[in-house]
């Protein structure tokens, strides 16, 4: 597949041919990365085609968050990121499969069926932006826009062997993104390489008056300023890998050595056990989710079930419309906010969030960048998680970044014995995306990794 950087130089007629070729390849693919043929909706405008996750509004398209309850909803407006694509020579083309309402780590909870990993079709693509990562890694998309609430861009990018970036909270407008957890959600790019990642991030960044959480800063210019020769103080967390598989641990230590050989200064750091991050994350995110999803009741939004009275409409619409994982998180959110438990759970989680932010602030007083794992293992087989709790714990290395509102980029650094991608993430202080992109660009060049897969070019 042509890269985004290359595609930006194509003539309009060549781009139209490229769109036809993508649609043809999607029709032949078994990855289930797209919800429907991109030709069904057409492109949102002229320019380079970018795959869009099914929770980002594109005017005139059916946007369902991979849920039965939103079947029939047609977006009445463009999300701000789609408008930004149009302003920068790109357009929305195709709707990516995902975990229902972005709640999941495997993209198995979609009402359209599970997304397959192009590196091994018996394994998950990760989640919740699994369709985006699978399509980019599988040669079915030039680049994609996903959303990251607790690792939903970085983890599937790691599992599939592509690049995924979660921007600083407020860097990219959330206007037009169907909310899961409003204080954590952030739209970001999933691309084939670091250069493309910088290019797409620049296109979607910048202040948006329609989003009250958008920071008043100009759009980024990271692509033009990419410098693989910059050297930084990089913090490493050697005692943070107890929950990681041996292949992830080996990749971490090998990458640390490579960064040192490249001229970066390695500085050991310490951080509290990631299980505290996970506990705080799932309390806060589910509390916000139960509020955000209250509007999907069959009256204000959502498919209305046949019923005899108002109470039945509410009950049956939500019972029939939501999947098991969404129901589980709504119930958990209502529980932690209920009288008698608010102080014991939600209030404590907010205190833990402050502590997590302080930990990162302390680390970034001593280093410029932090190197961390993305997931404790390579992509698992389908139905490998014995319980929802086991799936939640797989987010142990990613959720802290969202709780602190920091930028982080995931890129493949190694292969497991099965030939599967192993990804690591680079984390920076707020609004320092240039640092992690420069470091990742140099690291990517030094590694020169390639992967093979059934569905890959």
Q: Distance between CA 337 and CA 449 in Å, rounded?
A: 46
Q: Which of 67, 152, 317, 394 is catalytic?
A: 152
Task: Supply 162's token pair.
Answer: 């592509």
Contact 57, 63 (CB under 8 A): yes
**Is residue 53 annotated as a catalytic residue, yes or no?**
yes
Strands 120-124 vs 116-117: parallel, antiparallel or unpaired:
antiparallel
Q: What are phi and psi of 116, to 5 degrees?
A: -100, 150
Q: What angle do CA 426, 432, 438 make, to 5 degrees?
A: 60
Tell me if 172 sits within 8 A of 204, measured CB to CB: yes
Quickly list H helices, 194-309: 194-204, 246-261, 274-292
Closest CA to 320 of 300, 305, 336: 305
Question: Is 29 noted as a catalytic residue in this protein?
Answer: no
Peptide bond into 28 cis (omega under 30): no
C-alpha span between 133 and 117 (Å, rounded):
9
Active site residue 109: no
Burial class (CB within 10 angstroms; exposed 0-12, middle 13-18, buried 19+) of 388: middle
Among 240, 277, 272, which Cα is nearest to 376's?
240
128, 129, 181, 285: which is the annotated catalytic residue? Answer: 128
Phi, psi of 75 (to 5 degrees): -65, 125
Find the helix packing angle between 194-204 and 80-87, rounded to 10°. 110
- In whole angstroms, give the CA distance from residue 75 to residue 82: 12
Which residues are CB-contacts of 175 (< 8 A; sequence separation ≥ 6)? Answer: 79, 80, 208, 210, 211, 214
How many other CB atoms sit within 10 Å of the CB of residue 307?
14
Is the backbone of residue 72 left (phi > 0), alpha (psi -120 to 50) or beta? left
Cα 220–chain centre separation: 20
| 72 prior amide bond cis, ω within 30 | no
Query: What's the angle, vertex CA 87, arms to CA 85 and CA 91, rounded to 5?
Result: 35
Contacts of 225 (CB under 8 A, 6+ apart): 434
**Sign of torsion, CA 375 400 169 227?**
negative
Which residues are identified as catalytic? 53, 128, 152
């Amino acid at each position: 597949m042509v890269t985004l950087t290359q595609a930006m130089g194509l003539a309009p007629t060549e781009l139209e041919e490229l769109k036809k070729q993508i649609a043809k390849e999607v029709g032949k693919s078994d990855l289930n990365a797209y919800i429907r043929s991109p030709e069904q909706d057409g492109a949102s405008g002229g320019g380079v085609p970018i795959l869009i996750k099914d929770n980002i509004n594109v005017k005139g398209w059916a946007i369902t968050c991979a849920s039965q309850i939103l079947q029939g909803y047609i977006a009445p407006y463009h999300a701000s990121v789609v408008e930004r694509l149009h302003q920068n020579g790109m357009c929305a083309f195709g709707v990516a499969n995902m975990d229902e309402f972005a709640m999941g780590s495997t993209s198995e909870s979609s009402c359209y069926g599970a997304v397959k990993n192009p590196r091994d079709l018996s394994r998950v693509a990760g989640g919740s932006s699994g369709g985006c990562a699978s399509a980019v890694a599988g040669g079915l998309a030039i680049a994609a826009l996903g959303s990251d609430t607790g690792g939903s861009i970085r983890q599937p990018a790691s599992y599939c062997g592509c690049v995924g970036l979660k921007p600083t909270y407020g860097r990219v407008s959330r206007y037009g993104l169907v909310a899961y957890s409003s204080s954590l959600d952030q739209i970001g790019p999933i691309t084939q390489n670091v250069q493309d990642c910088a290019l797409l991030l620049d296109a979607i960044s910048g202040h948006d008056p329609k989003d009250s959480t958008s920071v008043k800063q100009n759009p980024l210019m990271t692509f033009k300023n990419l410098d693989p020769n910059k050297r930084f103080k990089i913090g490493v967390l050697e005692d943070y890998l107890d929950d990681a598989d041996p292949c992830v641990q080996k990749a971490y230590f090998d990458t640390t050595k490579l960064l040192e050989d490249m001229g970066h200064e390695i500085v050991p750091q310490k951080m509290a056990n990631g299980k505290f991050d996970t506990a705080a994350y799932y309390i806060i995110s589910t509390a916000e989710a139960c509020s955000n999803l209250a509007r999907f009741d069959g009256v204000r939004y959502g498919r209305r079930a046949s019923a005899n009275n108002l109470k039945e409409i509410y009950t049956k619409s939500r019972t029939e419309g939501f999947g098991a994982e969404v129901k589980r998180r709504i119930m958990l959110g209502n529980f932690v906010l209920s009288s008698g438990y608010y102080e014991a759970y939600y209030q404590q989680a907010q205190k833990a969030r402050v502590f997590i932010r302080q930990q990162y602030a302390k680390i970034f007083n001593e280093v410029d960048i932090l190197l961390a794992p993305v997931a404790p293992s390579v992509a698992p087989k389908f139905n490998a998680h014995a319980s929802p709790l086991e799936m939640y714990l797989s987010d142990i290395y990613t959720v802290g970044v969202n709780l602190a509102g920091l930028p982080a980029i995931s890129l493949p650094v190694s292969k497991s014995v099965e030939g599967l991608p192993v990804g690591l993430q680079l984390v920076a202080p707020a609004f320092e995306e240039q640092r992690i992109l420069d470091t990742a660009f140099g690291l990517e060049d030094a590694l020169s990794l390639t992967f093979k897969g059934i569905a890959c070019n």
